[in-house]
Amino acid sequence: MKATEMGWRDDVERVLIDEKIIEKRLDAMAVEIDQQFPAGPILAIVLLKGAFVFAADLLRRIPRPLEIECLNVSSYHGGTESSGSVKFLDHVLPEVRGRHVLLLDDILDTGRTLKAVADRMFEEGCAAVHTGVLLAKDKKRAEQVQADYVGFEIGDEFVVGYGLDYKGRYRNLPFVGVLKPVD
């Protein structure tokens, strides 16, 4: 093994949710979404960058026509605490007028991101927003939002992997894990 590969996993203190368990849960979530979503093509909106791994794996399991758009938003600015403000980084937003949107994010933490994006989708005239997250932290949220589809409830701790980053790294870990404390 190369030294760089060693360092990559060595930073992880523990695996919280391993790959096989994620895959099994995504199978079930895809069925749930397919059964509960109104008839017609789904417009999935994937929040970048964190949700790209989750969305790619989930959406390929949904056996019906869907369109996929991405939205680049930022709320952390590189650290482990939410900054409190959600920035829309795209110049042009996806066309959502009259559509039922499936909004996908990696994790529901304070709730500010999902709230800000859902509000914006409604301002743009969408018919409904259904929300899906891989992870939801069990905590009091700054915004009253719930996700319609949740992969896993986790404790209130900072996690990485499966799309989630710390300072831009660890998104490609195939599991969700907790980093060793940096002292």
- In the complex, least distance from residue 108 CB atom to ligand IMP, rounded to whole angstroms: 5
Q: What DSSP character marks residue 83? A: -
Q: Render the burial of 99-117: b for 16+ CB within 10 Å, e for the rest.
A: bbbbbbbbbbbbbbbbbbb
Q: What DSSP character marks residue 164? A: B
Q: Which is nearer to ligand IMP, 29 or 164 (CB)?
A: 164
* Residue 112 interacts with which of Mg ion, ligand IMP, none, CB < 5 to 8 Å by class: ligand IMP
- In the complex, least distance from residue 60 CB atom to Mg ion, rounded to whole angstroms: 22
Q: Footprint of Mg ion on residues 66-105 (CB under 5 A)?
A: 76
| Interface ranges with ligand IMP (CB under 6 A) | 47, 50, 75-76, 82, 105-113, 158-160, 164
Would you state the structure tokens that stand for residue 58, as one six-digit string?
A: 């989930």
The residue annotated as part of the active site, out of 57, 105, 106, 109, is 109
Q: 148 an active-site residue?
A: no
Residue 171 DSSP SS3:
coil
Decide: is 50 part of the binding site for Mg ion (CB under 5 A): yes
CB 111, CB 143: distance < 8 Å: yes
* Residue 177 interacts with which of ligand IMP, Mg ion, none, CB < 5 to 8 Å by class: none
DSSP strands (E only) in 77-172: 87-88, 100-108, 128-137, 149-154
Catalytic residues, which ones? Answer: 109
What are the residues binding Mg ion (CB under 5 A)? Answer: 50, 76
